[in-house]
Structures are given as C-alpha cells and as structure tokens.
Amino acid sequence: MNFKLRYTAIVALFLCVLTSVRAQEGNTAYNFLNVTSSAKVYGLGGVNISLVDDDINVIDQNPALLGPELSNNVALNYMHYLGGSNFAGLRYGHSAGEHGAWAASLQYFGYGSMKETLPDGSIVGSFSPKDVSFGGTYSHDITDRLRGGIALKLLYSGYAEYTAFAVSTDLGINYYDSDRDLSLSAVVANLGGQVKRFNSTYDRLPFDVRLGWSQSFGSFPLRFSITAWNLTKWHLPYTETGDGTSTDDPAVKDTFMSNLFRHLVFGVDLISSPNYYLSLGYNYKTRTDMSTYSRSFISGFSIGGGIRVKNFGVGLAFAQPHSGGTTLMFNLSYNINDLIN
C-alpha cells in the first residue's frame, strides 16, 4: 500500500468511526477510564487530548500523542482521589522504527475498605473494591505532521466476591505543526464492552468523542488548550441547589450556555523553560456537578507544576472538587537511554 493510499485509508476509517457511532443510552460504569494518570493533564483540568509533551503519561488521553521521541521513557503515577481512593500505575514506551512507537501500562484503582452487608442491613465483614487496567498502545506517523494511534485496555474489576472483565479501545489522531506550536486532535474513547459481567446486568463503558486544540503564540511563554468532550450528547443538565438555606425546589439548568461550557475544559501552561512547568485548568462540568453548598471557591479549578533535571522528572497536581474532598496527583518519570547505551 503506497503512502497516499495508506493516509487516505486511515483518515477515512477514523472519520467513519466518528460519524457512525451513536451515543450509548443509559448509565455507564468503568468511569475510572476518564481519570488521567498525568499530573500535567490533571493540572490542566483533567482532560487534554492535544498536549504534545515529553511526558509519556499524556498518551492515556490520546494514543496519537505517543511517538519515537518518547522511546525508553518510564513513568510512575500515584493519585490520592476522593474518600479513601488511591490510584497508581506504571507506563513504558519504546520506538518501533523511525515512524512508530509502542507503550505498555498497568493502572490500579483502589477505593478503600467498605462494609459488606446483607440485604437486611446486617454487617458481615468488609471488602476492598478495585479495578485494574492492562494497556497497550501503538502509534504511527501518517505524514510529517499527522500521527494516528490506537490503545487497547483489558479491564478487571473485583468487588467482594463479584468479578467482571471488559475490553476498551481508544482511537486517536493528532496534527502537530512545530513551526506554530499548533496541535489539533480527535479521539474516540472507550469503545468496547464487557466480556464477563458482575451479574445479569450489562454495564456500559463511558464511550466518548473528543476534540482538542493546544497552541502557543510566538515568544509568549504560555500555551493554551481547549478540549471538547462528552460530544456524544449535547444536553448535560445539572441541578443548582443554592447555598442550602432556601426551601425552594432545586433548579435544573439546561440552557445553551450551560451545556456548551459543560462540554469544554480550559487549560494554560507555562512553557518558558524545558526544565519546569506550571499549569492551570478549569473544568466547568466538575464545578457544576457539585451542589453549590458542598463545593468550594476553587471547585472546578486545578493546578499543577513540575521540574526536570537531566533525564529525571517530577510532577504534582492539586484539585478540590468540593469542600469535603481534595485530590493530589504525583508523577515520576525517567528516560533510561543513558542506562542502556
């Protein structure tokens, strides 16, 4: 297959998936798939599919962000999430020729200890629910500016004596113009389904279509990002409960502007030096998902920062979705080229 034909076939296949897959109805499970492993992305609002960066953890947002330039990068991630939840993982990437790359990952999602009860409410013990994701990613350059990628994840869930198994796939494409530092991306996330169910109920994966833009401007040391997600469904109503003092019924918000901004995540990061970064994000959906009297002033905002010394990098990110919950993410990364050469 010649180059032009290969390019046309890949783009056509991706556009076909984008236009033909319809939104899935009903509630979804496996929402841990939407939690990033990258402190840089978490500091930018938690969702960013267009961030071209030397952090291999960003490829969990878009498999097309993987490339030969990330070869022999290994990264550890840890996140203290809401309640007693703790997430951790490991990712490694390697080149596959001059125009391709592959990566492997392992992610663990633990939700702390919970009481195990019978239908009559009597407590019979405790259990620690968990989800585990085994992932593989492959990407390939289509042109000198266009790259496509695919990620496959095998998902195991264990909740007390109940277990389930599922398969998830992400398809991504990225256009990057290094002269203008312009990055445009599209992703079809969480395609797939359960192979083994917990019981007779089928749990859906959180299928999504996402678009992303990131760009800096000349010598200005800031890069701006906007990510549109949850694009399989326009209406994302939320309930505004007030400050808890009113006796009126909660108001349902479903206006054009509220729906628009609940689809968008905004981010800005400082890129004046390759040795450090600072990032700030705003996720309006996260803020509005929290009832007014249970969220803090900074709900929806996130902040991150990191440093790099030679081949070693450290990243941190912080967010407080509501007044009773603080989240913290920590990344360690290292390029092992010096160890193997």
Output phi, psi for 68, to 5 deg.
-60, -25
- Please give the pLDDT value at position 4: 46
Count of Cβ atoms closer than 10 Å to residue 23 Cβ: 12
Residue with tokens 């991150």: 304
pLDDT in tens, 170-183: 999 999 999 999 99
Greatest distance between any 2 Cα atoms in the chain: 69
- Please give the pLDDT value at position 304: 96
Residues 6+ apart with CB under 8 A from 200: none
Nearest alpha carbon to residue 224 among 256, 264, 261: 264
**Cβ contact 261:284 at 8 Å:** yes
- Please give the pLDDT value at position 324: 67
Which tokens hold the place of 41?
A: 């992305």
- Please give the pLDDT value at position 122: 75
pTM: 0.87
Nearest alpha carbon to residue 305 among 42, 37, 79, 74: 42
- Please give the pLDDT value at position 1: 43
Output phi, psi for 258, to 5 deg.
-65, -40
Output phi, psi for 215, to 5 deg.
-165, 145
- Please give the pLDDT value at position 57: 95
- Please give the pLDDT value at position 319: 92
**Cβ contact 303:279 at 8 Å:** yes
- Please give the pLDDT value at position 79: 95
Average pLDDT, the chain: 87
Nearest alpha carbon to residue 196 among 163, 152, 154, 161: 163
- Segments in the chain below pLDDT 70: 1-28, 242-248, 291-296, 323-324, 338, 340-341
In terms of DSSP bridges, do strands 130-141 and 100-110 run parallel, antiparallel, or are they unpaired? antiparallel
